[in-house]
Amino acid sequence: MKAMVLNKISSVEEKPLELVDLPNPVPDSKQILVRVSACGVCHTELDEIEGRASPSRFPIVLGHEIVGKVESLGPGASRFKQGDRVGIAWINWACGQCSFCLRGEENLCDKAKWTGKDADGGYAQYTVVSEDFAYPIPERFTDLEAAPLLCAGVIGYRALKLSGMGNGKILGLYGFGASAHIVIQVAKYKYPNAKVFVFTRPNQEEHRNLAQKLGADWIGATGDTPPAKLNCAIDFTPVGMPVREALRNLEKGGRVVINAIRKITPIPELDYTEHLWYEKEMKSVANVTRRDAQEFLPLAAEIPIMPEVREFGLQQANEALILLKEGKIRGAGVLGMAR
Ligand SMILES: [Zn+2]
Ligand SMILES: [Zn+2]
């Protein structure tokens, strides 16, 4: 099979992913072999490549927003049949035994493996995964549309749940890329009387136009003060400053959820009175559980979420990652294997 592999920590600008021929992976007992048709391009890949969230081995195949068809089953696998369309997300495996797993927080499991970081992912024509960590994909989505739902969508959904959002509240979204443009659609559907304020980098006209199209109630730049305080905010940016900005604009008792695996710049010093007093809260979102995916995919079909997708070929993965880093992809970037 063809695969784009990462051999070592590098800067994304060096175009470090290398196109190679690898033997097709063989599913072990409980695994399925999946022929990949689409794989989304995620900010986490930038963190993996540049060493902020380093893969546990090299070479490795990145990619954790995988859509494909079941090609074959391991001897102990029975949940899917050949030809079924499935998705694979960031959580690749969890122990099922530890205190976190037992209370449904497998996203915090110490032994968990992450797709494309500890196990080969979807920047390739084939991949394997335990059948318990694959999900049926609702019919209404094409392969390309479904891919960004599996990370950008699922983790955005988890962040929205953690934010304490409710009907009639005001939600602030800092950054408007792959995840935020899905979250706004979920928020508008679940909370029809809520308002959503969107903050982008200045000059991100494409992102602003998309926010407008998707019903944002106000759109400004990251340093702006919105017309009303935020009850909840989600920060999707890779940098530290928007966290302090979100806290500054937060209503009393409000909460900021940080949706990032790593930050490339520190969160600036906080002023206790201005940023935290009055019971303001700050919380991160770490990884996803299977339940998040199982809840979100049918909801996405019901709404329906319409992901904006820009397609690249497998061999263009380096170029797609550079554009992502520069904030130049409107919606979500997806590698299409048919291309
Ligand atoms: Zn991701
Ligand atoms: Zn565990």
In the block, which residue shows the tokens 């937060």?
250
- DSSP-derived secondary structure letter, 79: S
The pLDDT assigned to 124 comes to 98
> Which ligand is nearest the CA of 261, by number?
1
**154 C-alpha vs ligand 1 centroid, how far in Å?**
9
Is it the case that residue 70 has pLDDT exceeding 80?
yes
* Mean local confidence (pLDDT), 264-288: 97
Size of the chain in residues: 339
Q: Which residues is 196 bridged to in the sheet? A: 171
Reference 215, options 180, 251, 165; nearest CA is 180
Residue range 199-225, pLDDT digits in tens:
998 888 889 999 999 999 999 999 999
Residue range 299-326, pLDDT digits in tens:
999 999 988 899 999 999 999 999 999 9
Residue range 127-144, pLDDT digits in tens:
999 999 999 999 999 999
Model pTM above 0.85: yes
Beta sheet of 60-61, edge-to-edge order: 18-21, 2-6, 60-61
Residue range 235-263, pLDDT digits in tens:
999 999 999 999 999 999 999 999 999 99
> Which ligand is nearest the CA of 99, by number?
2
* Mean local confidence (pLDDT), 49-57: 97
The pLDDT assigned to 306 comes to 87
**44 C-alpha vs ligand 1 centroid, how far in Å?**
5
d(C-alpha 218, C-alpha 186), whole Å: 17
> Which ligand is nearest the CA of 42, by number?
1
Pairing of strands 126-130, 113-114: unpaired
The pLDDT assigned to 327 comes to 87
> Which ligand is nearest the CA of 88, by number?
1
> Which ligand is nearest the CA of 153, by number?
1
Could you tell me what percent of the chain has a pLDDT over 90? 95
d(C-alpha 282, C-alpha 257), whole Å: 6
**CA 210 distance to own-chain centroid:** 18
**227 C-alpha vs ligand 1 centroid, how far in Å?**
32
Could you tell me what percent of the chain has a pLDDT over 70? 100
Is it the case that residue 339 has pLDDT exceeding 80?
no
Residue range 140-183, pLDDT digits in tens:
999 999 999 999 999 999 999 999 999 999 999 999 998 999 99
The pLDDT assigned to 204 comes to 86
CA distances from 194 to 191, 227, 231, 316 (A): 5, 14, 10, 39
**107 C-alpha vs ligand 1 centroid, how far in Å?**
13
The pLDDT assigned to 218 comes to 98
**185 C-alpha vs ligand 2 centroid, how far in Å?**
32
What is the DSSP secondary-structure string of 211-224? HHHTT-SEEEETTP
> Which ligand is nearest the CA of 288, by number?
1
Surrounding ion ligand 2 within 5 Å at CB are 94-95, 98, 101, 109
> Which ligand is nearest the CA of 96, by number?
2
The answer for residues whose C-beta is within 8 angstroms of residue 257's C-beta and 6 or more apart is 159, 162, 163, 232, 233, 234, 235, 283, 284, 285
**271 C-alpha vs ligand 1 centroid, how far in Å?**
32
Q: Are the CB atoms for 52 and 264 separated by under 8 Å?
A: yes
The pLDDT assigned to 202 comes to 84
